[in-house]
Amino acid sequence: MIRLQNLCKTYVLNGHRKLVADDITAVFPTGVSVALLGRNGAGKSSLLRMISGEMLPSSGEILSTGRISWPVGFAGSFGREMTGEQNCRFVARVYGVDTDEMLDFVQDFAELGQHFYLPVRTYSSGMRARLAFGISMAVPFDTYLVDEVSAVGDQAFKAKSNRVFNERMRNAGAIVVSHSMGMLRRTCQAGAVLEGGKLNYYHDIEDAIQVHLANMNRSLRQRNAR
């Protein structure tokens, strides 16, 4: 369970005050995959970053039971001078995961070959993404945070990535940001719509999608009327 309690977040962007969360109180239930919907710039990624602990709210708090992932596929915290193997060992120790099992899983999943033993700074963006996704899947989280993750590589690799992610979802929940309604319908049971700093939770994903599409259409009409 993840509970947002009177959550507020504002920051200044290019000299303008941006409101991301306006006194949000909401609960993401245990074991449920929730689509986080909202227009571009609504603050979906910022909300995920606050839930993961990467960003602090201006006020309010986030309470949780269980273990929450960092955004799946995020490679920004890798030690660039460390090898892929060393980064795996570090994460395994932080999260109390069996090191050998994690190394075996990530090495097999990411398909990096001998690059697994080279510094991450030598990796292409695709290689970093595959390493990051593999490490994310190697830790048994209770809730996975997914922000527009898309597997890189050929169709076989993408199919493997989807298969592993779906296996994790059998025993965990997720909060998923994506512009693909098809992907959200396949992955999520519920939805939450972020609009104007307010968050509304819907137990049925279809209800959330319809509200989101109505918001998008209203925004388009407003732009066309100018």
- The whole-number pLDDT of residue 75 equals 67
Q: Does the structure show a pLDDT above 70 at 152?
A: no
Neighbours of 77 (CB within 10 A): 11
Tell me the H-state helices in 22-96: 44-52, 84-95
Give the containing element (helix H, strand E) for 172. none
- % of the chain with per-residue pLDDT over 90: 64
Which domains does the chain show, CATH number per domain? 1-16+23-67+143-226 (3.40.50.300), 77-140 (no CATH)
Of 61-70, 109-118, 217-226, where does mean pLDDT reach its minimum? Answer: 217-226
* Buried/exposed code over 31-43 (b: 16+ C-beta within 10 A; e: otherwise): ebbbbbbbbeebb
Neighbours of 211 (CB within 10 A): 17
In eight-state DSSP terms, residue 115 is G
Q: Does the structure show a pLDDT above 90 at 2?
A: yes
- The whole-number pLDDT of residue 14 equals 82
Mean pLDDT of the chain: 90
pLDDT (tens digit, 9 = 90+) per residue, 56-113?
A: 999 999 999 989 998 887 767 789 999 999 999 999 999 999 999 999 999 999 999 9
> pLDDT band at 12, cuts 50/70/90?
confident
Q: Does the structure show a pLDDT above 90 at 192?
A: yes
